């Protein structure tokens, strides 16, 4: 199916060794030797965490070696182990973004750690801007593909990874069975932290993008390189720049997330139980 990142490069080996150290601490702190599904909750998704299942353990991500402190309001920086009817779910409440300047390996460490804890499924969520006027703030959209517009690669060395069907068609279908009419989009990752200009949004539209954000694509690439199946879920929290006639602001983004939390949590809980 796909080229799997086992031992390709000393740098990659070192990153995966650190991830195994993180995973060992997580196993200790949770008492769960192996997790099944990992979830990263992005902007707007953190309030949905409680609806995934029963919390077994929760701790600060900084209690785990190699995790850095969170830098953004609305990104809690916690790790939680959740039981969803027997499925062991490792939930990251918050993530490291490229714009924090901690380097690209810090951005993907949670994904490498998730793989090291045994997770074979990676669910990546985010809050983002939407280019389709039908997506009002609070609309969830499946990621069907991405454009990595960061100019950076999260892989090291001559490591050729196939990205066809990166976002699992099977998992997308599952979500659409749970929530008929759930739309799909092409996610374009920018480095940020500034939002786009209206001209950049015109460019995104012309190159086939329909969602804009500052995460997910780099993480999905690493998840694929480690052989995981990937589900990408965006919550459109604002119309992309220049579309609404209003400036963008971070508080609005957080509020749209809070308002949509119950809906999002139910969708996550249901799809995890189906995996
Ligand atoms: I929430 O409009 C959120 N994150 N790049 N553009 C980009 N990131 C975002 C946006 C947006 N909204």
Ligand 1 atom with the shortest distance to the CA of 241: 2
Q: What's this model's pTM, rounded to 2 decimal places?
A: 0.94
240 lines ligand 1 (CB under 6 A): yes
Q: What is the pLDDT of residue 81?
A: 97
- Ligand 1, pocket-test mutation among 209, 213, 217, 255, most atoms within 8 A of CB: 213
**pLDDT at residue 1, rounded to an integer:** 44
Residue 75: per-residue pLDDT? 55
Instruction: Give 131 Cα–ligand 1 centroid separation in angstroms.
Output: 11
Compute how many other C-beta atoms are within 10 angstroms of the C-beta atom of residue 153: 13
Residue of minimum CA distance from atom 8 in ligand 1: 213
Per-residue pLDDT of the chain (275 residues; tens, 9 = 90+): 445 545 578 999 999 999 999 999 999 999 999 999 999 998 778 778 899 999 999 999 999 999 987 666 555 589 999 999 999 999 999 999 999 999 999 999 999 999 999 999 999 999 999 999 999 888 999 999 999 999 999 999 888 899 999 999 999 999 999 999 999 999 999 999 999 999 999 999 999 999 999 999 999 999 999 999 999 999 998 989 899 887 777 777 677 777 787 888 889 999 999 99
What domains can you pick out in the chain, each with its CATH number?
10-274 (3.40.50.1580)
Question: Which of the listed residues 73, 212, 252 should we mutate to test ligand 1's pocket, taking the one with most ligand atoms within 8 A of CB?
Answer: 212
Q: Which positions are annotated as active-site residues?
A: 196
Atom of ligand 1 nearest to the CA of 253: 1
Q: Which pLDDT score, from 0 to 100, does residue 72 have?
A: 60
47 lines ligand 1 (CB under 6 A): no
């Amino acid at each position: 199916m796909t080229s799997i990142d086992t031992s390709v490069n000393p740098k990659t080996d070192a990153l995966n060794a650190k991830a195994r150290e993180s995973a060992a601490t997580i196993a200790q702190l949770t008492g769960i030797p192996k997790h099944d599904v990992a979830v990263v909750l992005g902007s707007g998704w953190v309030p949905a965490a409680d609806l995934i299942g029963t919390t077994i353990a929760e701790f600060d991500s900084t209690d785990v070696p190699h995790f850095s402190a969170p830098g953004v309001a609305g990104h809690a920086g916690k790790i939680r182990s959740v039981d969803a009817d027997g499925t062991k779910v490792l939930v990251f409440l918050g993530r490291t973004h490229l714009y924090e300047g901690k380097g690209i390996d810090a951005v993907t460490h949670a994904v490498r750690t998730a793989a090291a804890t045994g997770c074979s499924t990676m669910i990546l969520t985010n809050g983002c801007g939407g280019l389709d006027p039908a997506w009002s703030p609070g609309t969830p959209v499946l990621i069907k593909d991405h454009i990595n517009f960061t100019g950076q690669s999260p892989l090291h060395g001559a490591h050729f990874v196939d990205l066809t069907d990166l976002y699992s068609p099977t998992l997308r279908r599952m979500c659409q069975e749970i929530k008929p009419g759930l739309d799909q989009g092409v996610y374009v990752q920018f480095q940020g932290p500034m939002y786009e200009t209206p001209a950049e949004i015109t460019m995104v539209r012309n190159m086939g993008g329909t969602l804009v954000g500052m995460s997910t694509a780099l993480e999905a690439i690493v998840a694929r390189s480690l052989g995981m199946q990937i589900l990408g879920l965006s919550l459109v929290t604002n119309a992309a720049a220049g579309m609404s006639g209003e400036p963008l602001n971070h508080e609005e983004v957080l509020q749209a997330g809070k308002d949509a939390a119950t809906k999002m949590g139910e969708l996550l809980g249901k799809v995890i139980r189906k995996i």
